């Protein structure tokens, strides 16, 4: 077996598993955050569930560690009260990002399993562990049962050769991969990395690369742990974990060999992390702000790289630089090693450890017309504010903050760029009318009007923007569906109960937010068809008994906007009643049908 199969088999009581098997996996760390945590609690209390093992159950309050938002403050207090009642450990707002806490505190180790409401839980692949972001129903089930159902994924092996150029960072490494593979060509795969360039990567570098597996659409990017990683995990866990490795003759569906000599410093252009190009193509684009942080690039090595650029320099006039370390331990090291002093003397704003702008709950947001260069993992429209966001490495972000425009450390000008009188504007977002869900028995065959949205990679921020995440009442969610998707901002107003949505590849990429599923249910949408779904979105929809189906070719049915169609969830038959044509799509799996007819996971 390969690494992912070994981990799943060892945690499901199986001698062997193969791709396509659906098994119950024992979870070593079951975690909820202030984002999603209150809904986890709601699911537990409404369904009268108990907690399987409080020693393996945790809360991490990391999306708004400043407590600056009233709704987040309420959610955090809900979590604290519930945790006190059940004796659950809370890593509170003074701690930092939860996925990093799992590694730092020895709660995850090579070969272990963890689930959390953080869609970047697959960051644990950096230490050879299985981590998955899941929705609030899944996490509530994990709290209660200690297990979740999971489908063993197909695997890909990527072998790296050559020597990484000196000016190419870990962030550049993963942006080069995004440029090559895009957001969905590896969708749903577990990917393992091998080769001498991989063996030489530090833990911090591995974390940066693993963190952006979500943006590549993969289940996880897995690094076989080297000796340095094993030593770190031994120190953090207080014991000697077994080293996880693929077995002889391990099988992979696909294999690639990549020469890292070809890698160059990169940026992702606004809107799509996978729209990654050489930084030379965007060099000298004027910026308004810069951000260093997120679970991708807030580690100690990142802080040291930024300090190296900023030492004895100043942030350009009119540019705002915001720096947020990943954990409080790293923040303290920055203080002890004099990095905070360098940041402040350069003119940067330094905030306490946490997710920062990525979660819309701390520093790092931007305004209409603002151009930001960021070390974050996502730059979806509206994700980090109403401006435009480029993604780059910590050293490039720091260099750009000093220059006043996008550049690299080796090309910082003697005099920074200044602003002219140009005014940038951005289209305002419009709220949509609320529609209530029509409740009823779950049918196997549905008939409705088709919405055909010919777009790939529609992410969860386009479906349900993060500015509405504090809403916990499903009845209030539908009005915001697609109000951040260009061309469909009036979807909620025009949608009718019974409609069926058909879209492209990788629908629901991005966050673990359950609202991006529940909003469609509120509107009365009967089903959603796509060529493929983001892994977390797929689980959230199935667990919520919201019908989603995949197709390979819709041309035979010739479905267009407004056509009346019939979909059979059991047989996979799709009829276009308007044109008298039909095609076959993927029917429900046995597990999906069982959950659907049960009315949901609970």
Token representation of residue 183: 């957001």
Q: Which of 128-132, 187-191, 432-436 has the lowest mean pLDDT?
A: 432-436
DSSP secondary structure of 18-67: -TT-EEEEE-SEEEEETTBHHHHHHHHHHTT---S-GGGEEEE--SSTT-
pTM of the predicted model over 0.95: no
Q: What is the pLDDT of residues 372-407, one digit of tens each?
A: 999 988 888 777 778 899 999 999 999 999 999 999
CB atoms within 10 A of CB 439: 7
Place of tokens 């019908």: 547
**Is pLDDT larger for residue 297 or for residue 426?**
297
**Is pLDDT larger for residue 482 or for residue 513?**
482
* Cα separation, 60 vs 77, whole angstroms: 12
pLDDT of residue 59: 97
Q: Which is nearest to 302 in space by CA: 233, 225, 361, 356? A: 356
On whether the CB atoms of residues 587 and 568 are closer than 8 A, the answer is yes
The torsion of the CA quartet 386, 392, 398, 399, rounded to 10 degrees, works out to -110
Place of tokens 């017309």: 369
Q: Which is nearest to 559 in space by CA: 496, 494, 492, 503? A: 503
Residue 359 has pLDDT above 70, yes or no: no
Domain 3-262 has CATH 3.20.10.10: no
User: Above pLDDT 90, what percent of the chain?
Assistant: 83
Token representation of residue 452: 């055909």
pLDDT of residue 208: 97
Q: What is the pLDDT of residues 504-551, one digit of tens each?
A: 999 999 888 889 999 999 999 999 999 999 999 999 999 999 999 999
Residue 439 has pLDDT above 50, yes or no: no
Residue 503 has pLDDT above 90, yes or no: yes
Q: Which of 35-44, 79-88, 466-475, 530-539 has the lowest mean pLDDT?
A: 466-475
DSSP assigned state of 152: P
Residue 440 has pLDDT above 80, yes or no: no
Q: What is the pLDDT of residues 197-254, one digit of tens each?
A: 999 999 999 999 999 999 999 999 999 999 999 999 999 999 999 999 999 999 999 9
pLDDT of residue 437: 35
Chain centroid to Cα 234, Å, comes to: 28
Q: What is the pLDDT of residues 554-577, one digit of tens each?
A: 999 999 999 999 999 999 999 999
CB atoms within 10 A of CB 318: 14
**Sign (positive or negative) of CA dihedral 178, 182, 188, 193:** negative
Residues of the chain within CATH 3.20.19.10 domain(s) are: 445-597
3-state secondary structure at position 307: helix
Could you please state the CATH topology (level 3) that the domain comprising 266-411 is classified under: Aconitase; domain 3 (3.30.499)
Place of tokens 């004796």: 87
DSSP assigned state of 405: B
Q: What is the mean pLDDT of the chain?
A: 92
- How is domain 445-597 classified at the architecture level of CATH? Alpha-Beta Barrel (3.20)
Residues of the chain within CATH 3.30.499.10 domain(s) are: 3-262, 266-411
**Is pLDDT larger for residue 436 or for residue 484?**
484
* Cα separation, 166 vs 260, whole angstroms: 11
Q: Which is nearest to 99 in space by CA: 10, 207, 222? A: 207
Token representation of residue 362: 């701390």
Burial of 50 (0-12, 13-18, 19+ CB in 10 A): exposed
DSSP assigned state of 69: S
* Cα separation, 35 vs 282, whole angstroms: 34
Token representation of residue 274: 């996978």
* Cα separation, 287 vs 63, whole angstroms: 25
């Amino acid at each position: 077996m390969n690494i992912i199969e070994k981990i799943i088999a060892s945690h499901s009581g199986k001698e062997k598993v193969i791709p396509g098997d659906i098994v119950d996996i024992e979870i070593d760390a079951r975690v909820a955050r202030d984002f999603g945590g209150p809904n986890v609690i709601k699911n537990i209390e409404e369904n009268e569930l108990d907690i399987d093992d409080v020693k393996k159950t945790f809360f991490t309050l990391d999306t708004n560690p400043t407590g600056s938002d009233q709704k987040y403050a309420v959610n955090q207090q809900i979590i604290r009260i519930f945790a006190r009642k059940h004796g659950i450990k809370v890593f509170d707002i003074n701690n930092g990002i939860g996925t990093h806490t799992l590694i730092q505190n020895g709660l995850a180790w090579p070969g272990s399993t963890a689930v959390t409401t953080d869609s970047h839980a697959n960051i644990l692949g950096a230490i050879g562990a299985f981590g998955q972001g899941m929705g609030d129903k899944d996490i509530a089930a994990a709290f209660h049962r200690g297990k979740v159902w999971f489908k063993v994924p197909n695997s890909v092996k990527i072998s790296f050769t050559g020597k990484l150029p000196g000016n190419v960072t870990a962030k550049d490494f993963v942006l080069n991969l995004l440029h090559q593979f895009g957001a969905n060509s590896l969708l749903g795969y577990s990917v393992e990395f091998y080769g001498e360039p991989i063996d030489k990567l530090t833990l911090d570098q591995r974390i940066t690369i693993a963190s952006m597996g979500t943006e590549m659409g993969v289940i996880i990017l897995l690094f076989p742990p080297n000796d340095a990683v094993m030593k770190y995990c031994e120190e953090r866990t207080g014991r000697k974990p077994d080293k996880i490795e693929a077995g002889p003759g391990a099988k992979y569906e696909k294999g690639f060999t990549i020469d890292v000599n070809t890698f160059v410093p990169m940026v992702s252009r606004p809107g799509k992390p996978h729209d990654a190009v050489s930084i030379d193509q965007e060099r000298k684009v004027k910026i308004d702000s810069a951000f260093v942080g997120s679970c991708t690039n807030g580690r100690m090595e990142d802080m040291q790289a930024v300090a190296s650029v900023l030492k004895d320099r100043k942030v350009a006039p009119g540019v705002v630089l915001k720096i947020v370390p990943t954990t409080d331990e790293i923040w303290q090291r920055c203080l002890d090693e004099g990095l905070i002093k360098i940041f402040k003397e350069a003119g940067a704003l330094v905030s306490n450890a946490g997710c920062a702008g990525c979660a819309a709950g701390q520093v790092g947001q931007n305004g209409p017309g603002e151009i930001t260069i960021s070390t974050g993992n996502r730059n979806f429209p509206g994700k980090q504010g109403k401006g435009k966001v480029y993604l780059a490495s910590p050293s490039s972000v720091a260099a750009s903050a000093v220059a006043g425009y996008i550049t690299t450390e080796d090309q910082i000008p003697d005099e920074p760029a200044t602003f002219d009188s140009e005014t940038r504007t951005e289209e305002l977002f419009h709220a949509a009318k609320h529609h209530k869900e029509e409740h009823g028995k779950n049918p196997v065959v549905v008939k409705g009007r088709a919405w055909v949205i010919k777009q790939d990679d529609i992410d969860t921020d386009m479906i349900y923007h993060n500015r509405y995440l504090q809403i916990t009442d499903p009845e209030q969610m539908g009005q915001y569906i697609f109000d951040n998707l260009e061309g469909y901002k009036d979807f909620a107003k025009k949608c009718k109960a019974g409609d069926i949505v058909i879209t492209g590849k990788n629908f629901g990429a991005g966050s673990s937010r359950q609202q991006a599923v529940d909003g469609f249910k509120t509107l009365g949408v009967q089903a959603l068809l796509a060529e493929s779904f983001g892994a977390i979105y797929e689980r959230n929809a199935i667990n919520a008994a919201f019908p989603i189906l995949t197709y390979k070719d819709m041309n035979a049915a010739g479905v267009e906007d407004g056509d009346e169609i019939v979909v059979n969830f059991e047989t996979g038959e799709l009829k276009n009643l308007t044109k008298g044509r039909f095609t076959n799509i993927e029917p429900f799996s046995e597990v999906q049908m069982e959950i659907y007819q049960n009315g949901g996971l609970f």
